[in-house]
Structure 1
Amino acid sequence: MPRPTILAYYFPDWHHDPRNAEWFGQGWDEWSLLESAGSRFQGHRQPRTPLHGPFDEATPAAASAQIELARKYGVDGFLVDYYWYDDGPYLQRALDEGLLAAGNSRDIEFALMWANHELVDIFPHDHPGNAQATRLKNGSIDRESFEEMVRHIIPAYLSRPNYLTVEGRPWFTIYDLANFVVGMGGTTQAVEALTWFDDQVKQAGFPGIHLNAVLWKGDVLPTRAAPHAPIDLVRQLGFRSATSYVWVHHADLSHFSFPAAEIAPLRDSAFAEYEKYAAQLDIPFYPNVTVGWDPSPRTQQTEDFQRGRYPWTPVWDPTPKEFKEGLLQAKAFLDRHGSPHPFVTINAWNEWTEGSALLPDTFHRHGFLEAIKDVFGTSDYKPKKKEIGSALS
């Protein structure tokens, strides 16, 4: 088995965004939530403090430092959470003005993970008994908006030399398949939209698009368009691979202790689901390894910390050694199931307000990054040259 490509999800809400300013006030970003987070129970490790303090990710200097750190410790690429609603992009400055403007941008691969979920006001969420958070944007965009997104991302991102490809096909992850189908108007229309997407990518000089599906077992977010897509929908829509976003998507959180829970049972629950996916799918399933889980910074800090819907969930705060156990389990999973192009996804590079960050903090320092390097080593990645078709000239 060749060394797998290690992809870390990148959450881009650590810069000033005009929509955030309108909703939450001028100058707001999620650093505000992180810095105001407090310890909610005995032994609770909050607030989390980045080793080098907060930074504006929408600057080339900050992005350059992150890219250098990732490459040093064996993270080969970022799966950037990409938001596009009915009126266009959101949080795009981290990618456009940060990661892609860095002098060493080509030193790392990247791909888009279309985060097409409902955008709800959990910044912070007011009370555990309030199940319905205020909806800010609908994740179920229509065909017209989808086509507008595709026409933007092909020249802006997919055409770049360091955009992640599998057998020449640009990788594109869809987070919420049910939301996508609802927005397109049904399964038949969703298939037609993705076929059109594939054709557009071919016209740009590629052999087609590599669609990657996020699968999960249970709901986490406060609102959802419909139950998550079953395995047969993945087949119908023509996906070429599947993965997971985070371990809590594969467990009934009510079965775990509160407020603090042990990581091993959560990890085992996720990998049990991964085995089912591998048995049912006729495409590769790539395992996810989760750093931790603590969305308490997104709860109203003046309220008692109680069990409820997201973000009022149990907290998992594993050590780097426990994280390494997950990496070893992912490696064994890939060795068992085989794949000509093995990948491991990591949640996450910088989900600070969900308690899942590879980036060093003042407590564990570089421990999580060192675990990746210990298990998988590093690769000698060099960006591929791509022949861009006439559609982009």
Structure 2
Amino acid sequence: MKHYDIAAYIWPAYTGDDTRSLIFWPDGIGEWQSVKKATARYEGHNWPRKPLWGYCDEANPEVMEMQIDAAANHGVNVFIYDWYWYDNRPFLENCLNDGYLKAKNNDRVKFYLMWANHDANYTWDRRLSDTSPDTVVWKAVTNRQQFETVAKRVISQYFSHPSYYRIDDCPVFEIYELRNLVQGLGGTGQCIEALNWFREETKKAGHPGLHLQLCSWGSHRKNMSGVDGATETTVSEELDQLGFDSTTHYQYCHFTNVDRDYAEIMKDVEKEWERMDTEFNVPYFPHVSIGWDNNPRFQNFRHGIVKNNDPAAIEKAFLAARDYVDNHPDQAPLITVNSWNEWTETSYLQPDDLYGYGYLEAIKRVFKDS
């Protein structure tokens, strides 16, 4: 049977162990607080929902041992941990450090990091999200000194772990916000220097190299540096200059209208996969999002809800992603998934009281049983 790497993003907010998380979720259970308070906004709205595993603490290694087994048994064999750095220190690192890394069976599911270098704002706080969603709590841009602190931390703390995911034996490190990265470092030239330094430091630590992966948001041109009058470039042009090794997506809502039927969305998604494959000079790894509906984070109704994303529809999406991988035999057989547990964005694989284990069983049929 052919091997596939099914990599699900993890939102590490389902614990109260990080004291700074109390700013957003004062009940001390992380963003489960918002999940518990979610209500139906219209007739037929599939909320509230409840996790079949309960509102568990994902910084607990015993909880993660159970989740790792469930993931591996259904074909999910990589976790991509959203990783945060604010105010010159990590944020929400507990689920990875105390949950996954202390799980006795973490050899069954590999992991890698996606540096979620976006600003922290009150979108996470249900009390303030309707009135002040864009109010910044912490800025995500980092200067060169802070960047080096981040790089040294991930190299020393994670890259050498036997379960860290690699491509061509190089640890994979994904970056979410290209523009924030470039602006914080002072421009494209300075960013090139910083990333080259990161690669060399990774080699000094005993690795053959570093696989830098970019989270893509679309095809429009941007002034990446933030300096007035600077040249606008596309993501593909900037990626070539910076020397990234691959790209993927995080969420369908970043590049298409998601306020419609899932089958219609998938038509545009497959076109996006082909665009990425054609326009980029590095491998594109296909991405599957389970859904989108971030109403649990707000008290007032928010438009933009994926419709009819039942397990049968998701299975078809994974079949399409599998076909893409099969048609690109020279690249790693990687498919990224949003997500393992993005409950408040209604895009998760974990079992619930609506579909049970339906999404996980769909993955199993496509990648383990066929």
Change (3 A) 1:198 1:328: same
Q: How much does 1:153 deviate?
A: 1.1
For 1:225 and 1:49, the matched residues in 2 are separated by 43
Which residue matches 2:97? 96
Which residue matches 2:229? none
Q: Give deviations 1:21-48, integer Å, cap 9, x for gaps.
A: 2454351510000000000011001111
For 2:87 and 2:217, the matched residues in 1 are separated by 25
Q: Give deviations 1:178-220, integer Å, cap 9, x for gaps.
A: 110011110001111100000000000111100011112289x
Which residue matches 1:7? 7
> 3-state SS of the aligned residue for 2:337?
strand
For 1:378 and 1:18, the matched residues in 2 are separated by 43
Which residue matches 1:359? 350
Change (3 A) 1:365 1:33: same
For 2:72 and 2:233, the matched residues in 1 are separated by 34
For 2:233 and 2:285, the matched residues in 1 are separated by 18
Query: Within 5 A, what are the aligned runs for 1:199-348?
Result: 199-217=200-218, 230-252=235-257, 256=259, 261-300=260-299, 303=300, 305-307=301-303, 313-316=304-307, 318-348=309-339
Change (3 A) 1:339 1:42: farther
Q: Which amino acid counterpart does residue 363 of structure 2 have in structure 1?
A: I
Q: How much does 1:20 deviate?
A: 1.5
Which residue matches 1:150? 151
Q: Check the 8 A contact 2:257/2:265 in 1, yes or no.
A: no
Q: Check the 8 A contact 2:186/2:225 in 1, yes or no.
A: no
Q: Which amino acid counterpart does residue 272 of structure 2 have in structure 1?
A: E
Q: Which runs of 5+ in 2 are unaligned?
A: 227-231
TM, length-normalised to structure 1: 0.86
Matched, 1:193 2:194: yes
Alignment identity in percent?
36
Which residue matches 1:384? none
Change (3 A) 1:340 1:127: closer
> 3-state SS of the aligned residue for 1:14?
coil
User: Bigger CA drift: 94-103 or 370-379?
Assistant: 370-379
How many aligned residue pairs are there?
360
Change (3 A) 1:156 1:263: same
For 1:135 and 1:225, the matched residues in 2 are separated by 20
Q: Check the 8 A contact 2:248/2:284 in 1, yes or no.
A: yes
User: Bigger CA drift: 168-177 or 15-24?
Assistant: 15-24
Q: Give deviations 1:233-282, integer Å, cap 9, x for gaps.
A: 111111111111111111145xx4xxxx3111222222211111100112
RMSD: 2.3
Which residue matches 2:126? 124
Query: Within 5 A, what are the aligned runs for 1:151-190?
Result: 151-190=152-191
Q: Which amino acid counterpart does residue 21 of structure 2 have in structure 1?
A: N
For 1:54 and 1:282, the matched residues in 2 are separated by 43
For 2:355 and 2:43, the matched residues in 1 are separated by 19
For 1:140 and 1:14, the matched residues in 2 are separated by 25
Over 6 Å off, 4+ runs: 224-228
